[in-house]
Structure 1
Amino acid sequence: MNLLEDLRWRGLLAQSTDEAALLESLKKPITLYVGFDPTAPSLHVGNLVVLLVLRRFQLAGHTPIALVGGATGLVGDPSGKNEERTLNSTEIVEGWVNRIRTQVSAFLDFSEAKNKAIVVNNLDWTSPLSAIEFLRDIGKHFSVNQMLSKDSVSTRLEAGGISYTEFSYQVLQSYDFLELYRRNNCTLQLGGSDQWGNIVAGLDLIRRVEQGSGHALTVPLLTKADGTKFGKTAGGSVWLDPAMTSPYAFFQYWLNTDDKDVINFLKVFSFKSHEEIAALENAHKENPGLREAHRALARELTALVHSQATTDRVEAAAKALFGQGDLTELDEETLAGALAELPRTTVSKNDAIPTWVDLLAATGVVDSKSAARRIVKEGGAYLNNEKISGEDFAPQKSDFLCGKYAVLRKGKRDLAAVELI
């Protein structure tokens, strides 16, 4: 199976300018790129879709370029938005560029002599241009009529208008493709399906300026089976930065994938073979309760983004929280990440620590202290996985894990946290 057939099997092919011609060109190593704009301090799991496609191309022998948009990030992409983006300062964008540059680099191989990865910043070739040069040498090749017909622009016009700043984004992105074609003989741009118009505009610019040719390939925008937006939780986006989404929360996001989505997500994100994914699909159909496919997805993605050692720690934390491991063996960072999403209450180091009943009621896990007392009487009350037998039991400061956290458990599944501050 060739690379394009594999991408189609995984549901990763949306559009291509000329698939037969692209397939022919892929018989030899080519150079391709994907752009990432610094719209936040970190990439999120939605960015992983196309980033991992770039990785697949490198594994197939092609040279990948990850472009971080230091220039386009200052302007803002109107795609999919009904209002203007907030323009960030040059200092903020520069900081985000450096962070994202580091993130994308972790998914590509820079050691191979023949097709080692390249990371670039489009500010390097955009900032030296004067406004007059840009308008005369690049802008003259663009038809305003064609630009107005692009979905992202027409949608904004219908919604009330678009600034010249965001209207010019397509020209800047096209110029990126032209520059990479000139500098690196880059002949393929990858992107999400919402970027199709911008990508083909870049191909047209290459044809007009250099009388050259290239290819465009887009990846479908990923959606979940229930219609909700992929990569979102009640707390917001799922980020790749561990300071913004803890590795524990990241692991749990994939572990809690809907049964209807898990095989599709394995195809999109996993580097397992077709046979391995088929085996997981069969296992899931035979016994969905074991959640083998979910666990395989969570393990692979967490290891890919955060390392295998981190994955082992968060799995140990998940088991320990529910009484299947020793909470005292968890390091503070892993424990904090595991408890971050739980209902919680705080206790001052200078105050007497309330009873277990008072603490559980304070977290909101139960409606009242009387409900908490019933849990103790029925034998379902735990502190750090140790059963509590008395209603008047109050933890000691020495009971706080890492000198800071205590874990309350009601029955087998309901957890809450207490933080000593």
Structure 2
Amino acid sequence: MSRNVFDVLKERGFIAQTTNEDKIREILGSQQVTFYIGFDPTADSLHVGHLLQLIVMSHMQKAGHRPIAVLGGGTAMVGDPSGRTDMRQMLTKEQIDYNASRFKVQMEKLIDFSDGKAIMVNNGDWLLGLNYVEFLREIGVHFSVNRMLAAECFKSRLERGLSFIEFNYMLMQSYDFLRLYQDYNCILELGGDDQWSNILAGIDLIRRVKGEEAYGMTFCLLTTSEGKKMGKTQKGAVWLDPEKTSPYDFYQYWRNVNDADVIRFLKLLTFLPMEEIERLAQYRDEKINEAKEILAYEVTKIVHGEEEARKAQQAARALFADGGDLSSAPTTEISGDDLKDGIGILDLLMKAGLIPSKGEGRRLISQGGIYINGERVDDQNRIITSDDFKEGQLFIRKGKKMYHRVVISN
């Protein structure tokens, strides 16, 4: 008999809070459970923070349960105040609908929506046509303002100011759960730990309106061992869309995580068996880089497919050694004309997008942070010429881990 998926999620470190751990474990082990996670389409791509939730949905689906992915076409019109210090930017309905269509494409890589095995719905279908007075009379009557203000998602915003439109978000998300309970017999809501207050409110609404029990479970947010939120780089968010974050940059992001985070991310973001992860956990010092390579390859394979993961891995390895396929490495082209009289190192770094300003370039060079073809650059006025290129290409290293290829265009 296969293991209870609750035990799998717990062992791999997903679970933060549950409304009734024993009961949730019991129903997940004894029946097919319909559950849901909501995704507000506030951007045109999912990011690595969402990846954790998609992996959970995949674990649950593989164990025989039925996921509902709720695209927040209605809730995104209002904006979730959870975890925010300011109000979200207001989007148009057209922007939200386009973003939702992009989410769908990315979700299908992890969730099987064929033959009703999973359901995708848009809460705009029932939220946008609501009659406000009727909604207040039927749903709003069940909410205590005193209790709402005590909720974590609102409490942190009271000093800075909480708009009335955001105050409605909890009612709308709770109504989602009620609708899904009625229409699909959905009895379990999952989400990041910042959604705990909203999930509890939905469970309470189902109890008051239907007199029935529903359940909630939250997951640890994706953070580093130092407690910093994952998914941000100097260039911005790490997106699942290959047009916004290339498979190579995505691979490198995971290849460069801190040693202390590798094993936890292998548990949360890959489907490798725990025995394999426990074996990798024994790795120390230089050998930990092997575990990082496996992490980067596995996560890239899940998001972008095996072929792109292989290409990204080969490109990354090629930057550390002679030979290999470098076609997927981050590359800047410069013309032969640029090299006629040579190009200053600072201009080349700017052109490659490796520095935001020449001042930053001077600082990096003075600190020994720039290498050309493996040799440290000491002269801020160094001129790069065609002689520095081997077989039409040159490699820049910034710091310990950032590599960039420069090629001469024909």
Scaled by the length of structure 1, what TM-score is found? Answer: 0.83
State the partner residue of 2:339: 353
SS at match of 1:278: helix
State the partner residue of 1:151: 152
1:52 deviates by 1.0
State the partner residue of 1:247: 247
Pick closer, same or farther for the CA change 1:410–1:288 going to 2, 3 Å. closer
SS at match of 1:108: coil
Decide which of 314, 317, 320 is 1:319's aligned counterpart: 317
1:99-156 per-position Cα deviation (integer Å, ceiling 9, x unaligned): 1122122210124x5x611111101111222212222221122111111111111211
Structure 1 segment 13-162 matched on structure 2, within 5 A: 13-26=15-28, 27-111=30-114, 116-159=117-160, 161-162=161-162
Structure 1 segment 157-176 matched on structure 2, within 5 A: 157-159=158-160, 161-176=161-176
Contact in 2 for aligned 1:178/1:202 (Cα 8 Å): yes
Contact in 1 for aligned 2:37/2:68 (Cα 8 Å): yes
- d(CA) in 2 for partners of 1:233, 1:222: 14
State the partner residue of 1:394: 386
- d(CA) in 2 for partners of 1:270, 1:63: 20
State the partner residue of 1:181: 181
State the partner residue of 1:387: none
1:288 deviates by 3.6
- d(CA) in 2 for partners of 1:99, 1:153: 30
1:38 deviates by 1.0
1:332-380 per-position Cα deviation (integer Å, ceiling 9, x unaligned): xx34xx23xxxx6x7457x352466x35453349869x99xxx99x995
* Corresponding pairs, count: 386
SS at match of 1:158: coil
Contact in 1 for aligned 2:397/2:403 (Cα 8 Å): yes
- d(CA) in 1 for partners of 2:345, 2:135: 64
SS at match of 1:294: helix
Letter aligned with residue 303 of structure 2 = V
1:138-184 per-position Cα deviation (integer Å, ceiling 9, x unaligned): 1122111111111111211122x211110000000001101110111
Letter aligned with residue 9 of structure 1 = E
- d(CA) in 2 for partners of 1:379, 1:173: 54
Percent identity of paired positions between Structure 1 and Structure 2 = 42
State the partner residue of 1:408: 395
1:265 deviates by 0.7
Where does the alignment leave 5 or more consecutive residues of structure 2 unmatched? 355-360, 377-382
- d(CA) in 1 for partners of 2:126, 2:374: 68
Pick closer, same or farther for the CA change 1:30–1:414 going to 2, 3 Å. closer
Pick closer, same or farther for the CA change 1:407–1:414 going to 2, 3 Å. farther
Contact in 1 for aligned 2:177/2:189 (Cα 8 Å): yes
Pick closer, same or farther for the CA change 1:63–1:276 going to 2, 3 Å. same
1:53-72 per-position Cα deviation (integer Å, ceiling 9, x unaligned): 11111111100111110000
State the partner residue of 1:211: 211
Whether 2:11 is the aligned partner of 1:9: answer yes
Letter aligned with residue 144 of structure 1 = V
SS at match of 1:33: strand
State the partner residue of 1:362: 347
- d(CA) in 2 for partners of 1:80, 1:267: 25
Pick closer, same or farther for the CA change 1:154–1:299 going to 2, 3 Å. same
SS at match of 1:291: helix
State the partner residue of 1:384: none
Contact in 1 for aligned 2:256/2:401 (Cα 8 Å): no
1:322 deviates by 3.6
Pick closer, same or farther for the CA change 1:260–1:130 going to 2, 3 Å. same
1:229 deviates by 2.2
1:326 deviates by 4.2
Structure 1 segment 263-278 matched on structure 2, within 5 A: 263-278=263-278
1:88 deviates by 1.1
Pick closer, same or farther for the CA change 1:367–1:213 going to 2, 3 Å. closer
Pick closer, same or farther for the CA change 1:94–1:259 going to 2, 3 Å. same
State the partner residue of 1:386: none
State the partner residue of 1:385: none
Where does the alignment leave 5 or more consecutive residues of structure 1 unmatched? 382-390, 401-405
Contact in 2 for aligned 1:238/1:250 (Cα 8 Å): yes
